[in-house]
Amino acid sequence: MPATTTATITEHALSLVTQVYEVGDTLAQQIAEVLAELDLTEPQGTMLWALAPNTPPVPMRELAHKLHCDPSNISLLGDQLQAAGLVERQPDPTDGRRRILVLTDQGVQAWSRLLERIQQRSALFTLSVKEQKQLIALLERVQTNNAQLPTGFLTRTS
């Protein structure tokens, strides 16, 4: 078996990163189109997505951390989504001093429409169910490995 060369590793790395980037970029464009149809901005859509139905509510401060933004941004986005009838603020059932955002029935419908329209547009859903499960497992493994890397090993540029 021939020794692996730096050129082969670099070519392989380039191909892997390029493919992941292109798939992510295409998916981001498709999501942006769907959000525009739903009259939502990208930040509003990101927050709506983070408030997925059938998931435990997250306090607003934790939501800000999860979305890598300032808590004031969550308050502003919460105001906008509340005005659109998609979320409501409620006291955190575990700590009444904190507030949570919960999808309204209209918000659940918008979240479902977002997922449905992405499924209609994205080539990810041309994969068989078996292939989708394999891809999910691989992506979960990558995310797990990312979480285990030492702080500063990978730096976020945005």
Q: Could you give the percent of the chain with pLDDT greater than 90? A: 68
The mean pLDDT of 107-113, rounded to a whole number, is 96
> Does residue 101 register a pLDDT over 80?
yes
State pTM to two decimals: 0.78
CATH of the domain at 57: 1.10.10.10
Nearest CA-CA partner of 44 in 99, 103, 100: 103
**What is the arithmetic mean of pLDDT over 137-153?**
83
Asked, for residue 131, whether it belongs to a domain, the answer is no
List the domain range (segments joined by +) for residue 109: 6-126
Report yes or no on 45 lying in a domain: yes
Q: Would you state the pLDDT for residue 5? A: 62
81 inside domain: yes
Q: What is the DSSP string of 66-117?
A: HTTS-HHHHHHHHHHHHHTTSEEEEEETTEEEEEEEEE-HHHHHHHHHHHHH
Domain presence at residue 35: yes
Domain count, the chain: 1
Does the pLDDT of residue 6 top 70, yes or no? no
Residue 112 lies in a domain: yes
CA 71 vs. chain centroid, Å, equals 18
